[in-house]
Amino acid sequence: MEKTFTGIFEADSVVKTLALCVLTMGAFLMVKLYRFSYQINNQTNLKISNIFIAITIVLFTLSLSSLIYGLVNLDNPVILKSSIGVHIISSVFDVMWIIMVRNRINLIAGAHKGDKLWLKPFITSIFHVIYMQHKINQGLLQRAELYQVD
C-alpha cells in the first residue's frame, strides 16, 4: 500500500488537539477518534463498526456524566463507587477503539515497526489522538516534500 495520508486525513494542530483534550476532560478524544474513524470508513475498506463507535460514545458519555455528578456530590461517596463498573467498561471500549484506529492508520501508512510513520503502541496508549495527529501531520508533510516542485 502506498505510504500516504493524502485524501484521507487532514493536517491539524497537535497543540490544539492537546489543549482541547485537556479542556474538555477527554471528550475531544472521542470527537477526534470519531473523525479519524469517519475518514477511515469513508476513504478506505478498513471499516470500524458504526455500532461499536456508537456504543463506545454512549459508554464514555455515561462514564463522564457519572464522574462529574459524583464530583459535584462529593459528600456522597456511594455515587462515585457505584459508577466504577461503567468506568471500567467504558475504558475497555475506549482502549479497543484507540487500538482499532491506530492499527488502521498504520495500515494506511504502510508503516511497519521501526518506520518513521509507525504509531508505537506504548506512546499511542499515553498520548492517543495527539500522537496520531502528529504522525498524520508527519505523513502529510513527507508526502508534500516528496512532490514539491523546485
DSSP string, 49-87: -HHHHHHHHHHHHHHHHHHHHHHHTTT-HHHHHHTHHHH
pLDDT at site 50: 97
pLDDT for 146 equals 60
| Whole-number pLDDT of residue 131 | 96
pLDDT digits (tens, 9 = 90+) for 36-95: 999 999 988 999 999 999 999 999 999 999 888 888 888 887 877 788 889 999 999 999
The answer for 81, left when phi > 0, alpha when psi is -120 to 50, beta otherwise, is alpha
CB 124 within 8 A of CB 131: yes
pLDDT over 70 at 4, yes or no:
no
pLDDT tens digits, one per residue of 138-150 = 988 886 666 665 4
As to burial, measured by CB atoms within 10 angstroms (0-12 exposed, 13-18 middle, 19+ buried), residue 102 is buried
119 CB contacts (<8 Å, ≥6 apart)?
102, 105, 106, 111, 131, 132, 135
| Closest CA relative to residue 134, chosen from 57, 44, 36, 31 | 36
Residue 1, pLDDT > 70, answer no
Q: What's residue 144's pLDDT?
A: 65
Q: Which helix (H) or strand (E) holds 36?
A: helix 27-43
pLDDT, tens only, 108-132? 999 999 999 999 999 999 999 999 9
Task: Dump strand ranges (E) for the chain.
Answer: none
Q: What is the mean pLDDT of the chain?
A: 89
Find the mean pLDDT for residues 19-46: 94
CA distance 27 to 1: 33
Handedness of CA 117, 112, 131, 54 (dihedral sign): positive
